[in-house]
Protein backbone atom coordinates (compact mmCIF):
# COMPACT_ATOMS: atom_id res chain seq x y z
CA UNK A 1 0.00 0.00 0.00
CA UNK A 2 1.33 3.49 -0.81
CA UNK A 3 0.53 6.91 0.59
CA UNK A 4 1.43 10.19 -1.09
CA UNK A 5 2.27 13.42 0.69
CA UNK A 6 2.87 16.81 -0.93
CA UNK A 7 5.21 19.48 0.36
CA UNK A 8 5.04 23.14 -0.31
CA UNK A 9 8.72 23.55 0.51
CA UNK A 10 11.49 23.16 -2.04
CA UNK A 11 13.16 19.75 -1.74
CA UNK A 12 15.98 17.89 -3.50
CA UNK A 13 16.49 14.30 -4.56
CA UNK A 14 17.72 13.30 -1.11
CA UNK A 15 14.27 13.92 0.29
CA UNK A 16 13.31 10.26 -0.03
CA UNK A 17 16.25 9.37 2.16
CA UNK A 18 15.27 11.86 4.82
CA UNK A 19 11.67 10.67 4.87
CA UNK A 20 12.79 7.04 5.15
CA UNK A 21 15.08 7.86 8.08
CA UNK A 22 12.39 9.86 9.85
CA UNK A 23 9.85 7.09 9.58
CA UNK A 24 12.16 4.22 10.54
CA UNK A 25 13.51 6.15 13.53
CA UNK A 26 9.96 6.17 14.86
CA UNK A 27 9.44 2.49 14.41
CA UNK A 28 7.58 2.70 11.13
CA UNK A 29 8.74 0.35 8.40
CA UNK A 30 8.09 1.52 4.85
CA UNK A 31 9.55 -0.68 2.13
CA UNK A 32 10.30 2.24 -0.18
CA UNK A 33 9.96 6.00 -0.44
CA UNK A 34 9.76 7.73 -3.82
CA UNK A 35 10.58 11.41 -4.23
CA UNK A 36 8.73 12.97 -7.13
CA UNK A 37 10.43 16.24 -7.97
CA UNK A 38 7.87 17.21 -10.62
CA UNK A 39 5.10 17.40 -8.00
CA UNK A 40 7.16 18.00 -4.86
CA UNK A 41 5.64 14.94 -3.27
CA UNK A 42 6.77 11.67 -1.76
CA UNK A 43 5.06 8.31 -2.14
CA UNK A 44 5.55 6.03 0.85
CA UNK A 45 5.16 2.31 0.16
CA UNK A 46 4.24 -0.20 2.86
CA UNK A 47 3.87 -3.92 2.33
CA UNK A 48 0.39 -3.82 3.86
CA UNK A 49 -2.43 -1.40 4.56
CA UNK A 50 -1.68 0.67 7.64
CA UNK A 51 -3.91 0.59 10.66
CA UNK A 52 -5.54 3.92 11.52
CA UNK A 53 -3.15 4.27 14.43
CA UNK A 54 -0.06 3.72 12.26
CA UNK A 55 -1.49 5.97 9.55
CA UNK A 56 -1.83 8.70 12.18
CA UNK A 57 1.77 8.17 13.28
CA UNK A 58 2.92 8.51 9.67
CA UNK A 59 0.86 11.63 9.22
CA UNK A 60 2.41 13.11 12.33
CA UNK A 61 5.93 12.47 11.04
CA UNK A 62 5.11 13.88 7.64
CA UNK A 63 3.57 17.06 9.14
CA UNK A 64 6.76 17.53 11.08
CA UNK A 65 8.70 17.29 7.84
CA UNK A 66 6.55 20.01 6.27
CA UNK A 67 4.15 17.90 4.26
CA UNK A 68 0.45 18.50 3.92
CA UNK A 69 -1.78 15.81 5.26
CA UNK A 70 -5.29 15.63 4.07
CA UNK B 1 92.12 -164.00 80.62
CA UNK B 2 92.59 -167.55 79.52
CA UNK B 3 91.66 -170.05 82.09
CA UNK B 4 93.87 -172.58 80.59
CA UNK B 5 96.89 -170.97 82.07
CA UNK B 6 98.21 -172.47 85.24
CA UNK B 7 97.53 -169.54 87.40
CA UNK B 8 95.63 -169.52 90.54
CA UNK B 9 93.12 -166.78 91.31
CA UNK B 10 92.28 -166.09 94.80
CA UNK B 11 88.57 -166.50 95.49
CA UNK B 12 88.73 -163.34 97.46
CA UNK B 13 90.03 -161.53 94.59
CA UNK B 14 87.29 -162.84 92.37
CA UNK B 15 84.72 -162.02 94.90
CA UNK B 16 85.98 -158.48 95.23
CA UNK B 17 86.15 -158.08 91.52
CA UNK B 18 82.62 -159.26 90.95
CA UNK B 19 81.38 -156.98 93.66
CA UNK B 20 82.43 -154.03 91.48
CA UNK B 21 79.97 -155.05 88.78
CA UNK B 22 77.25 -153.12 90.65
CA UNK B 23 75.44 -151.54 87.59
CA UNK B 24 74.60 -152.98 84.32
CA UNK B 25 76.36 -151.96 81.13
CA UNK B 26 73.16 -150.42 79.73
CA UNK B 27 72.80 -148.25 82.77
CA UNK B 28 76.42 -147.25 82.42
CA UNK B 29 75.94 -146.39 78.69
CA UNK B 30 72.89 -144.22 79.34
CA UNK B 31 74.55 -142.53 82.27
CA UNK B 32 77.50 -141.64 80.10
CA UNK B 33 75.35 -140.43 77.13
CA UNK B 34 73.24 -138.31 79.47
CA UNK B 35 69.71 -137.00 79.08
CA UNK B 36 70.47 -135.69 75.54
CA UNK B 37 71.59 -139.11 74.41
CA UNK B 38 74.80 -137.57 72.99
CA UNK B 39 77.50 -139.83 71.70
CA UNK B 40 81.17 -139.20 71.11
CA UNK B 41 80.29 -138.59 67.50
CA UNK B 42 78.12 -135.67 68.50
CA UNK B 43 80.96 -134.24 70.54
CA UNK B 44 83.33 -134.70 67.67
CA UNK B 45 81.02 -132.78 65.40
CA UNK B 46 80.86 -129.90 67.84
CA UNK B 47 84.64 -129.84 68.19
CA UNK B 48 84.94 -129.77 64.43
CA UNK B 49 82.72 -126.71 64.29
CA UNK B 50 84.69 -124.96 67.02
CA UNK B 51 87.90 -125.69 65.27
CA UNK B 52 86.52 -124.19 62.12
CA UNK B 53 85.97 -120.91 63.92
CA UNK B 54 89.47 -120.99 65.37
CA UNK B 55 90.90 -120.12 61.93
CA UNK B 56 93.88 -118.25 63.36
CA UNK B 57 96.04 -118.88 66.35
CA UNK B 58 94.75 -117.40 69.61
CA UNK B 59 98.13 -115.74 70.14
CA UNK B 60 97.43 -113.46 67.19
CA UNK B 61 94.45 -111.88 69.03
CA UNK B 62 94.58 -108.88 71.36
CA UNK B 63 96.20 -109.62 74.67
CA UNK B 64 94.95 -108.53 78.03
CA UNK B 65 97.48 -105.77 78.17
CA UNK B 66 96.41 -104.42 74.82
CA UNK B 67 92.76 -104.34 75.85
CA UNK B 68 93.75 -102.62 79.09
CA UNK B 69 95.49 -99.91 77.07
CA UNK B 70 92.43 -99.49 74.88
CA UNK B 71 90.20 -99.29 77.89
CA UNK B 72 92.43 -96.62 79.34
CA UNK B 73 91.69 -94.53 76.24
CA UNK B 74 87.99 -95.25 76.04
CA UNK B 75 87.61 -94.32 79.66
CA UNK B 76 88.42 -90.79 78.56
CA UNK B 77 85.16 -90.62 76.56
CA UNK B 78 82.12 -89.12 78.27
CA UNK B 79 78.45 -89.40 77.28
CA UNK B 80 75.39 -87.38 78.08
CA UNK B 81 72.11 -88.73 79.45
CA UNK B 82 71.04 -89.73 75.97
CA UNK B 83 74.29 -91.57 75.45
CA UNK B 84 75.52 -89.06 72.84
CA UNK B 85 79.27 -88.64 72.83
CA UNK B 86 80.46 -85.30 74.10
CA UNK B 87 83.02 -83.56 71.87
CA UNK B 88 85.05 -80.46 72.64
CA UNK B 89 84.37 -78.33 69.55
CA UNK B 90 87.09 -75.87 70.36
CA UNK B 91 89.55 -78.59 69.77
CA UNK B 92 88.28 -79.23 66.23
CA UNK B 93 91.09 -79.33 63.77
CA UNK B 94 91.25 -76.50 61.12
CA UNK B 95 88.12 -74.49 62.13
CA UNK B 96 89.05 -71.52 59.79
CA UNK B 97 88.18 -73.73 56.79
CA UNK B 98 84.53 -73.68 57.87
CA UNK B 99 84.22 -70.16 56.38
CA UNK B 100 80.75 -70.50 54.81
CA UNK B 101 77.55 -72.12 55.97
CA UNK B 102 76.43 -75.43 54.61
CA UNK B 103 73.34 -73.76 53.11
CA UNK B 104 75.58 -71.23 51.29
CA UNK B 105 77.74 -74.05 50.04
CA UNK B 106 74.58 -75.85 48.91
CA UNK B 107 73.22 -72.83 47.06
CA UNK B 108 76.60 -72.08 45.45
CA UNK B 109 76.83 -75.63 44.20
CA UNK B 110 73.23 -75.57 42.91
CA UNK B 111 73.79 -72.25 41.15
CA UNK B 112 71.25 -69.69 39.88
CA UNK B 113 69.23 -72.44 38.23
CA UNK B 114 68.86 -74.20 41.58
CA UNK B 115 69.91 -77.45 39.94
CA UNK B 116 70.50 -80.52 42.01
CA UNK B 117 72.31 -83.69 41.28
CA UNK B 118 68.90 -85.13 40.49
CA UNK B 119 68.45 -82.55 37.75
CA UNK B 120 71.87 -83.39 36.35
CA UNK B 121 71.04 -87.04 36.55
CA UNK B 122 67.82 -86.43 34.65
CA UNK B 123 69.70 -84.47 31.98
CA UNK B 124 72.35 -87.13 31.74
CA UNK B 125 69.63 -89.71 31.36
CA UNK B 126 68.08 -87.66 28.55
CA UNK B 127 71.45 -87.27 26.86
CA UNK B 128 72.06 -90.88 27.26
CA UNK B 129 68.69 -91.58 25.66
CA UNK B 130 69.78 -89.62 22.59
CA UNK B 131 73.12 -91.38 22.51
CA UNK B 132 71.35 -94.46 21.30
CA UNK B 133 74.38 -95.66 19.39
CA UNK B 134 78.06 -95.38 20.05
CA UNK B 135 79.74 -92.20 18.83
CA UNK B 136 82.34 -94.29 17.06
CA UNK B 137 79.62 -95.53 14.71
CA UNK B 138 79.02 -91.96 13.34
CA UNK B 139 80.87 -90.21 10.52
CA UNK B 140 84.42 -89.33 11.40
CA UNK B 141 86.23 -86.06 10.65
CA UNK B 142 88.18 -87.86 7.99
CA UNK B 143 85.05 -89.05 6.26
CA UNK B 144 83.37 -85.62 6.35
CA UNK B 145 86.55 -83.89 5.21
CA UNK B 146 86.77 -86.22 2.24
CA UNK B 147 83.11 -85.58 1.37
CA UNK B 148 83.55 -81.80 1.69
CA UNK B 149 86.43 -81.90 -0.77
CA UNK B 150 84.06 -83.20 -3.41
CA UNK B 151 81.98 -79.95 -3.40
CA UNK B 152 83.06 -76.53 -4.75
CA UNK B 153 83.44 -73.56 -2.43
CA UNK B 154 80.29 -71.55 -1.89
CA UNK B 155 79.85 -68.63 -4.32
CA UNK B 156 76.94 -66.57 -5.67
CA UNK B 157 75.33 -67.93 -8.82
CA UNK B 158 75.71 -65.78 -11.92
CA UNK B 159 76.21 -65.82 -15.65
CA UNK B 160 79.57 -66.84 -17.17
CA UNK B 161 80.64 -68.90 -14.20
CA UNK B 162 83.65 -71.19 -14.81
CA UNK B 163 83.19 -74.90 -15.24
CA UNK B 164 83.15 -76.74 -11.92
CA UNK B 165 86.46 -78.38 -10.97
CA UNK B 166 84.93 -80.61 -8.38
CA UNK B 167 82.46 -83.39 -8.40
CA UNK B 168 79.51 -82.89 -10.71
CA UNK B 169 76.29 -84.47 -9.54
CA UNK B 170 73.58 -85.02 -12.09
CA UNK B 171 69.95 -84.64 -11.08
CA UNK B 172 67.73 -87.38 -12.41
CA UNK B 173 64.44 -85.58 -12.95
CA UNK B 174 61.59 -88.05 -12.82
CA UNK B 175 57.85 -87.75 -13.10
CA UNK B 176 55.33 -90.18 -11.69
CA UNK B 177 52.74 -91.49 -14.17
CA UNK B 178 50.60 -93.02 -11.50
CA UNK B 179 52.42 -96.34 -11.64
CA UNK B 180 56.04 -95.79 -12.59
CA UNK B 181 58.63 -93.06 -12.34
CA UNK B 182 59.52 -91.79 -15.81
CA UNK B 183 62.52 -89.72 -16.98
CA UNK B 184 61.68 -86.14 -17.92
CA UNK B 185 62.51 -85.60 -21.61
CA UNK B 186 64.11 -82.75 -23.52
CA UNK B 187 64.57 -82.05 -27.24
CA UNK B 188 67.89 -81.76 -29.05
CA UNK B 189 68.20 -78.11 -27.96
CA UNK B 190 67.84 -79.04 -24.34
CA UNK B 191 64.37 -77.57 -24.13
CA UNK B 192 62.09 -79.40 -21.76
CA UNK B 193 59.36 -81.39 -23.50
CA UNK B 194 56.14 -80.86 -21.64
CA UNK B 195 52.78 -82.39 -22.35
CA UNK B 196 50.47 -81.14 -19.65
CA UNK B 197 47.38 -83.13 -18.92
CA UNK B 198 45.40 -80.74 -16.80
CA UNK B 199 41.74 -80.02 -16.32
CA UNK B 200 42.09 -76.28 -15.92
CA UNK B 201 45.03 -73.88 -16.05
CA UNK B 202 44.98 -70.71 -13.98
CA UNK B 203 47.39 -67.84 -14.55
CA UNK B 204 47.54 -65.34 -11.72
CA UNK B 205 48.66 -61.76 -12.35
CA UNK B 206 48.44 -60.70 -8.74
CA UNK B 207 44.84 -59.53 -9.06
CA UNK B 208 42.87 -61.84 -11.31
CA UNK B 209 43.08 -65.29 -12.84
CA UNK B 210 43.17 -66.18 -16.49
CA UNK B 211 41.57 -69.62 -16.67
CA UNK B 212 41.94 -72.06 -19.52
CA UNK B 213 39.41 -74.85 -19.29
CA UNK B 214 39.77 -78.40 -20.54
CA UNK B 215 37.04 -77.76 -23.15
CA UNK B 216 39.22 -75.08 -24.76
CA UNK B 217 37.31 -72.10 -23.39
CA UNK B 218 39.12 -69.26 -21.71
CA UNK B 219 37.77 -67.37 -18.75
CA UNK B 220 38.98 -63.79 -18.65
CA UNK B 221 37.68 -61.39 -16.06
CA UNK B 222 35.92 -59.07 -18.52
CA UNK B 223 35.10 -61.65 -21.20
CA UNK B 224 32.01 -63.09 -19.62
CA UNK B 225 30.00 -64.06 -22.66
CA UNK B 226 30.46 -65.73 -26.02
CA UNK B 227 32.11 -63.64 -28.72
CA UNK B 228 29.34 -64.58 -31.17
CA UNK B 229 26.87 -62.64 -29.08
CA UNK B 230 28.84 -59.42 -29.59
CA UNK B 231 28.57 -57.00 -32.50
CA UNK B 232 30.00 -58.32 -35.75
CA UNK B 233 32.26 -56.45 -38.15
CA UNK B 234 29.28 -56.04 -40.49
CA UNK B 235 27.15 -54.55 -37.76
CA UNK B 236 29.84 -52.15 -36.61
CA UNK B 237 30.68 -51.18 -40.17
CA UNK B 238 27.07 -50.37 -40.89
CA UNK B 239 26.81 -48.44 -37.67
CA UNK B 240 29.97 -46.51 -38.45
CA UNK B 241 28.53 -45.47 -41.80
CA UNK B 242 25.82 -43.56 -40.03
CA UNK B 243 28.32 -41.11 -38.55
CA UNK B 244 30.23 -38.39 -40.38
CA UNK B 245 33.98 -38.53 -40.55
CA UNK B 246 35.75 -36.78 -37.75
CA UNK B 247 36.61 -33.17 -38.52
CA UNK B 248 37.34 -30.03 -36.56
CA UNK B 249 34.34 -27.88 -35.73
CA UNK B 250 34.32 -24.50 -37.41
CA UNK B 251 32.16 -21.87 -39.02
CA UNK B 252 30.59 -22.39 -42.43
CA UNK B 253 30.61 -26.14 -42.11
CA UNK B 254 28.54 -27.98 -44.68
CA UNK B 255 25.30 -29.65 -43.73
CA UNK B 256 25.79 -33.19 -42.43
CA UNK B 257 25.09 -35.88 -45.02
CA UNK B 258 24.83 -38.68 -42.49
CA UNK B 259 22.49 -39.52 -39.66
CA UNK B 260 21.39 -36.61 -37.53
CA UNK B 261 20.95 -37.55 -33.90
CA UNK B 262 18.77 -35.42 -31.69
CA UNK B 263 19.73 -34.98 -28.08
CA UNK B 264 16.97 -35.33 -25.52
CA UNK B 265 18.13 -32.80 -22.96
CA UNK B 266 17.01 -33.64 -19.49
CA UNK B 267 17.59 -32.00 -16.13
CA UNK B 268 17.56 -33.58 -12.70
CA UNK B 269 14.85 -32.24 -10.40
CA UNK B 270 16.28 -33.87 -7.34
CA UNK B 271 14.00 -36.88 -7.62
CA UNK B 272 13.41 -37.41 -11.34
CA UNK B 273 14.64 -36.44 -14.78
CA UNK B 274 12.54 -33.82 -16.56
CA UNK B 275 12.65 -32.41 -20.07
CA UNK B 276 14.26 -29.00 -20.44
CA UNK B 277 11.55 -26.46 -21.06
CA UNK B 278 11.46 -24.46 -24.28
CA UNK B 279 9.71 -21.20 -24.95
CA UNK B 280 9.30 -18.92 -27.91
CA UNK B 281 10.25 -15.31 -27.63
CA UNK B 282 11.56 -12.29 -29.43
CA UNK B 283 15.23 -12.59 -30.23
CA UNK B 284 16.70 -9.62 -32.01
CA UNK B 285 13.44 -9.04 -33.84
CA UNK B 286 12.72 -12.65 -34.63
CA UNK B 287 10.53 -15.09 -32.75
CA UNK B 288 12.59 -18.17 -31.92
CA UNK B 289 12.43 -21.07 -29.55
CA UNK B 290 14.99 -21.03 -26.81
CA UNK B 291 15.84 -22.96 -23.67
CA UNK B 292 14.24 -21.61 -20.56
CA UNK B 293 16.94 -20.78 -18.01
CA UNK B 294 16.32 -19.87 -14.40
CA UNK B 295 19.33 -18.10 -12.92
CA UNK B 296 20.52 -19.74 -9.72
CA UNK B 297 20.53 -16.41 -7.92
CA UNK B 298 16.94 -15.53 -8.88
CA UNK B 299 14.80 -15.52 -5.71
CA UNK B 300 11.72 -17.61 -5.80
CA UNK B 301 9.66 -15.07 -3.87
CA UNK B 302 7.80 -12.14 -5.28
CA UNK B 303 9.81 -8.95 -5.81
CA UNK B 304 8.58 -5.69 -4.36
CA UNK B 305 7.46 -3.55 -7.26
CA UNK B 306 7.34 0.24 -7.57
CA UNK B 307 5.76 1.02 -10.88
CA UNK B 308 5.11 4.07 -13.01
CA UNK B 309 7.89 6.27 -11.69
CA UNK B 310 7.97 9.36 -13.83
CA UNK B 311 11.53 10.36 -14.69
CA UNK B 312 12.44 13.80 -16.00
CA UNK B 313 15.59 15.87 -16.28
CA UNK B 314 15.15 16.77 -12.59
CA UNK B 315 16.64 14.02 -10.43
CA UNK B 316 14.19 11.96 -8.47
CA UNK B 317 14.86 9.16 -6.03
CA UNK B 318 13.50 6.01 -4.50
CA UNK B 319 14.74 4.95 -1.09
CA UNK B 320 14.60 1.28 -0.22
CA UNK B 321 14.33 0.03 3.33
CA UNK B 322 17.49 -1.33 4.96
CA UNK B 323 19.36 -3.60 4.30
CA UNK B 324 18.58 -2.56 0.74
CA UNK B 325 18.08 -4.39 -2.50
CA UNK B 326 20.36 -7.33 -3.23
CA UNK B 327 18.83 -7.72 -6.66
CA UNK B 328 17.62 -4.55 -8.31
CA UNK B 329 15.62 -4.76 -11.53
CA UNK B 330 15.14 -1.48 -13.34
CA UNK B 331 12.83 -1.54 -16.34
CA UNK B 332 12.67 1.48 -18.62
CA UNK B 333 9.19 1.46 -20.09
CA UNK B 334 9.55 4.68 -22.05
CA UNK B 335 11.36 5.82 -25.15
CA UNK B 336 14.10 7.87 -23.46
CA UNK B 337 17.22 6.53 -21.77
CA UNK B 338 17.34 6.82 -18.00
CA UNK B 339 20.54 7.60 -16.06
CA UNK B 340 20.91 5.81 -12.75
CA UNK B 341 22.83 6.49 -9.54
CA UNK B 342 23.03 3.84 -6.84
CA UNK B 343 23.16 5.03 -3.23
CA UNK B 344 24.19 8.46 -4.52
CA UNK B 345 23.06 11.02 -7.04
CA UNK B 346 23.41 10.27 -10.72
CA UNK B 347 27.10 10.72 -11.58
CA UNK B 348 27.86 13.63 -13.87
CA UNK B 349 30.16 11.45 -15.93
CA UNK B 350 29.69 7.91 -17.15
CA UNK B 351 26.44 7.19 -15.35
CA UNK B 352 24.70 3.84 -15.39
CA UNK B 353 22.13 3.97 -18.20
CA UNK B 354 19.01 1.91 -18.60
CA UNK B 355 18.24 2.18 -22.28
CA UNK B 356 14.73 2.84 -23.47
CA UNK B 357 12.53 -0.23 -23.57
CA UNK B 358 15.12 -2.40 -21.79
CA UNK B 359 15.56 -3.98 -18.44
CA UNK B 360 18.70 -3.95 -16.35
CA UNK B 361 19.23 -6.37 -13.52
CA UNK B 362 21.75 -5.32 -10.90
CA UNK B 363 23.09 -7.48 -8.12
CA UNK B 364 24.44 -5.47 -5.21
CA UNK B 365 25.42 -5.89 -1.58
CA UNK B 366 22.59 -3.49 -0.71
CA UNK B 367 21.01 -0.68 -2.76
CA UNK B 368 19.21 1.63 -0.32
CA UNK B 369 18.62 4.51 -2.73
CA UNK B 370 18.13 4.72 -6.48
CA UNK B 371 18.56 8.11 -8.13
CA UNK B 372 17.42 8.69 -11.68
CA UNK B 373 16.90 11.34 -14.30
CA UNK B 374 16.97 11.81 -18.05
CA UNK B 375 19.22 13.98 -20.13
CA UNK B 376 16.27 15.16 -22.22
CA UNK B 377 12.59 14.36 -22.20
CA UNK B 378 10.98 11.96 -19.81
CA UNK B 379 10.42 8.26 -19.33
CA UNK B 380 8.77 5.85 -16.95
CA UNK B 381 10.65 3.39 -14.75
CA UNK B 382 9.54 0.27 -13.01
CA UNK B 383 11.74 -0.70 -10.09
CA UNK B 384 11.51 -4.16 -8.58
CA UNK B 385 13.83 -5.42 -5.90
CA UNK B 386 14.64 -8.31 -3.61
CA UNK B 387 16.29 -7.63 -0.33
Which residue of A1, A7, A10, A13 to mutate against B (max B Cβ within 10 Å)? A13
Determine the pLDDT at residue B90. Answer: 61
Q: pLDDT tens digits, chain A, 70 residues: what are they?
A: 899 999 988 889 999 999 999 999 999 999 999 999 999 999 999 999 999 999 999 999 999 999 998 6
Determine the pLDDT at residue B2. Answer: 46
Determine the pLDDT at residue A9. Answer: 84
In chain B the first and final C-alpha atoms are separated, in Å, by 192
pLDDT tens-digit series, residues B59-115: 888 888 888 898 888 888 888 888 888 877 665 555 677 788 888 888 888 889 888
Cross-chain Cβ contact B321/A29 below 8 Å:
yes
- Ordered by where they begin, the domains of chain A are 2-68 (3.30.70)
**Who wins on pLDDT, B336 or B183?**
B336
Q: What is the ipTM of this complex?
A: 0.90
Checking if the pLDDT of B186 tops 50, the result is yes
Using CA atoms, how far residue B88 sits from B92, B100, B102, B232, in Å, is 7, 21, 21, 124
Determine the pLDDT at residue B91. Answer: 57
Model-level pTM? 0.39
Q: Which residues of A touch B (CB under 8 A)?
A: 12-17, 19-20, 24, 29-38, 45, 47
Query: Do B280 and B335 touch, CB atoms closer than 8 A?
Result: no
**Min CA distance, B266 vs chain A (Å)?**
39
Determine the pLDDT at residue B56. Answer: 81
* Reported confidence tier of residue B285, pLDDT bands at 50, 70, 90: confident
| Mean residue pLDDT across chain B | 84
Checking if the pLDDT of B170 tops 70, the result is no
**Min CA distance, A11 vs chain B (Å)?**
10
Which residue of B311, B313, B317, B320 to mutate against A (max A Cβ within 10 Å)? B317
Q: How far apart are CA B250 and CA B248, in angstroms?
A: 6
Checking if the pLDDT of B143 tops 60, the result is yes
* Residues from chain B contacting residue A17 (CB–CB below 8 Å): 317, 319, 368-369
Q: Positive or negative, the Cα torsion across B332, B334, B338, B342? A: negative
Determine the pLDDT at residue A19. Answer: 96
Name the architecture of domain B304-386. Answer: Sandwich (2.60)
Pairing of strands B379-386, B359-367: unpaired
Query: Do B295 and B327 touch, CB atoms closer than 8 A?
Result: no
Q: Where do the structural domains in chain B lie, given as residue ranges?
A: 100-132, 197-224, 304-386
Query: Do A58 and A44 touch, CB atoms closer than 8 A?
Result: yes
Amino acid sequence: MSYEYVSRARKDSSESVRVMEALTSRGLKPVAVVWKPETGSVVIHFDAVLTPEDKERVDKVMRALGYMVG
Amino acid sequence: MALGMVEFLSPEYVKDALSKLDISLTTLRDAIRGAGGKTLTDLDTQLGNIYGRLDVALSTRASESTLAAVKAQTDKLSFDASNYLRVNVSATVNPPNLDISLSSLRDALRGAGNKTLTDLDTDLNNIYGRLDVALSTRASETTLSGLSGKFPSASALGDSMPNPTTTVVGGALLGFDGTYWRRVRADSNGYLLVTANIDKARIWDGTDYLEINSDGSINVKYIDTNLSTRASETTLSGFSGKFPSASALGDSMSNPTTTVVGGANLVWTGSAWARVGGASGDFVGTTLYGVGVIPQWLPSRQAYLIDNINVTTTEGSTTIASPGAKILIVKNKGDVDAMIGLNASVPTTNPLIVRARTVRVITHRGVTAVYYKTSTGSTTLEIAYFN
